[in-house]
Amino acid sequence: MIEGLLGALAYLAQPFPFFLVALGTVLGIVVGAIPGLSGAMLIALTLPLTFYMQPVDAIVLLIGMYVGSITGGLITATMLRMPGTPSNVVTTFDGYPMAQAGKPGRALGLGIAASFVGGIVSWIVLLFLAKPLSVWATRFGPFEYFTLILMAMVLIASVSQGSMVKGLIAGFLGMLVSMPGVDPSAGQPRLTWDWYVLNGGLKLLPVLIGVFAVSQIIGDIVAITKRVERVETTMRGMLMSVADWRDQAFNMLRSSLIGTWVGILPGIGASIGSIMAYTTAKNMSRTPEEFGHGSEEGVVASEAANNATVGGALIPLIAMGIPGSVIDAILIGAMMIHSIQPGPTLFLTNADVVWAMIAACLVANVIMFAFMMGSVGFVSRIMYVPRTFLLPVILVFCIIGAFALDNTMFDVWVMLGFGVLGFAMERAGFPLGPFVIGFVLAPLMEEKLRSGLMMTAGSIEPIFTRPLPLIFLLVSIALLLMPFWRSWRERRENGPASEPAE
Amino acid sequence: MARGRSRRPRGDPDGTDTPAAPSAARNGAGLRGLAAWEVGVAGFLVAVCLIAIWELRDARPGTFEPLGSGPVPRVTAGLIIALSLWIAWRAWRRPAEAIVDPGYEPRPWDAAIVAGLTVVYVLVMASRTLGFAPLTAIFLTLAIGWLVRFRARTMPWVVLVAAITGWGCAYLFTRVFIVDLPGL
């Protein structure tokens, strides 16, 4: 383990790889700081530029962007009450009141320090858990994998913001969209309408760019008149004193562990992690009444947890090929584009890539901390960039990105179509995370189910007779039934007037 | 269509002996806001899934395993249809929500016009009648210009940004990243 890590760190110490991690982190911070742009959008748009890079270089660049984008959103959340990324929503609760009270530097300083601690704690867990988990996962048979993915899908839908039914629809739709093309098991085309361009299926990149970037651009243009209120930036009080570190140490550690744990759970991501850590911090605080009115503990809990989800979410990705978040789903796509097959054998087949990912996560956190402490004042000015100029330019980059994958205009039309669909789904309250994760996981899920059935001559008995598939199945059923049970209990307590579960 | 016409309170098949539930039907409004989007998206998904199920009618059974190509997408489409109908039904039955002031003036027409310009931009690009750089510069001038309402004071900046992006992207992608660009 140590040799692999040291080797990767030595590689990242070379000028070009280090430049890539630093560039990725800084770009991630900048994009995270611009309201309306997200890390998923940045990474999806950068993917085509990595085609000609070495796989390791491409992956470290994307990891830098991942870490940077989660942190960059802290600035807008604090200064504008507009979360730069969805994972910073909770930071607005206390960061903005602190900025309004004349302490923007203090809020940003606490947030940056908490982000750094969250990133490092989750990195330690990643370092020690990824390999043992991948060794364990190599024992998985097809039915274990099938039920694990099933559980991941239900979990994603059940914790998505809004209705669980909408989360399930989005997940199933992502699965269905991944199915056109030549069926790998039978070698026959399906859902192609005899249209040859669909024989290869819908590619991940145009769908991703459409769903995350184009839909966001459409939504931002609709809200183009939204005014941004400026808060005077004073960076006084950014550095935390020893007493601050002592006071916040337990909160930081607890929130980081919550964030890491939430990150490990497939597909949930940073938003839920920060909400859980914030709620826990509030429940355990001596001054819960300050939460929502500028509580320092609130900022620390939210930022430590959302950054901790990054390392946590990389664990199932590296160990099992299951994305821990939407950005991880995009990273899986990036690995596939570079002919790297994610999954439990990754440590054997592409150990250099795995160790580079783990090392890049550490280096990106250090760069993020140094850059944010040194230039947060400058970055905070970027968020006022006029969106009337920015959005059409990003649209051009989307078109180039979709086209560059295969040099076909068909991909550009696919991207635009999914952009409109993504916009409509968002307006109707359908979460987009389950859609992308369903799209990435469905081929694997179907392949495992069918190869399992091939092994057992069509019997699904192993799902009920082997311990792991049975556990995964029972958890899936419990997760599915939980909202209905909760709703039934509420209705029994509050009377029939309360709304049934969705 | 007014929502109330097809709505009847539970346990009242005729809809005559109890007053209608407070809803959009009472004030004459149709589906709007979130409910309209929900019904629209759910309807679209049902249509797409029905087309997919129709396309799968000839899917061959498996040779080495019992499933074959058809059942997984068919079940997935069936689940989407069932859940979409549930969402549409819930949206239809839900009392109309008051439209919340978002704090800014939404501009859906701006989005529609930029989307239209984008479609024309991609069509011209696909026809290869104009090079990427000038075409992109024209598209950006029109799209950004529309968003800033072609204000005379801002237009020189718009043209400058459009030209830099158009020719800058062409140089960056074809010379630095060695990526082919669409267009002539």
pTM beyond cutoff 0.90: no
CA–CA dist A403, A209 (Å, integer)? 11
Cα separation, A397 vs A409, in Å, equals 14
Non-local CB neighbours of B10 within 8 Å, separated by 6+ positions: none
If residue B138 lies in a helix (H) or strand (E), which one and from where to where? helix B132-147
State whether B65 and A222 contact (CB < 8 Å).
no
For residue A230 the two structure tokens come to 């400026």
Contact A165 B139 (CB under 8 A): no
- Strand A181-182 to A189-190 pairing: antiparallel
Q: Determine the residue of chain A that is closest to B178 in CA distance.
A: A52
Per-residue pLDDT of chain A (502 residues; tens, 9 = 90+): 788 889 999 999 999 999 999 999 999 988 887 766 778 888 888 887 887 788 899 999 999 998 998 888 888 778 777 666 667 778 888 888 888 787 888 888 899 999 999 999 999 999 888 888 888 887 888 898 888 888 888 877 776 656 788 988 998 999 999 999 888 777 788 888 888 888 888 988 888 888 888 988 898 899 888 766 666 656 666 777 888 888 889 999 999 999 898 888 766 666 777 878 888 888 888 888 888 888 889 999 999 998 898 888 888 888 888 887 778 888 888 888 888 888 888 888 888 888 999 999 999 999 999 998 888 777 777 667 788 888 899 899 889 888 887 888 999 999 999 999 999 998 998 988 788 888 888 888 888 888 888 888 888 888 899 998 999 899 888 888 887 787 788 888 776 555 555 5
Minimal Cβ distance to A48: which of B73, B114, B179: B179
Question: Which residue, among B65, B164, B176, would best test binding to A if mutated, counting the most A CBs under 10 Å from its CB?
Answer: B65
Interface A-B: count of C-beta contacts within 8 A? 181
Residue A502 touches partner B, C-beta closer than 8 Å: yes
Q: What is the pLDDT of residues B91-141, one digit of tens each?
A: 888 776 666 666 778 888 999 999 999 999 999 998 888 889 999 999 999
Shortest CB distance from A165 goes to which of B83, B114, B119?
Answer: B83
The angle subtended at Cα A357 by Cα A356 and Cα A359, nearest 5°, is 60
Q: Which residues of B touch A450 (CB under 8 A)?
A: 62, 65, 67
DSSP per-residue codes, A50-67: GTTS-HHHHHHHHHHHHH
Q: Name chain A contacts of B161, Cβ cutoff 8 Å.
A: 389, 393
Residue A189's SS3 state is strand
Q: CA A195, A200, A204: angle at the middle one, nearest 5?
A: 120
Residue of A nearest to B68 (CA): A186
Residue type at A117 in one-letter notation: V
Q: What is the Cα–Cα distance from A24 to A43, expressed in whole angstroms?
A: 9
For B127, phi then psi, to 5°, come to -80, -10
Report ipTM (2 d.p.): 0.81
For chain A positions 182-221, those within 8 Å of chain B (CB to CB) are 183, 185-186, 188, 190-191, 193, 218-219, 221
**Nearest CB to B111: which of A173, A222, A403?**
A222
Residue type present at position A231 = V
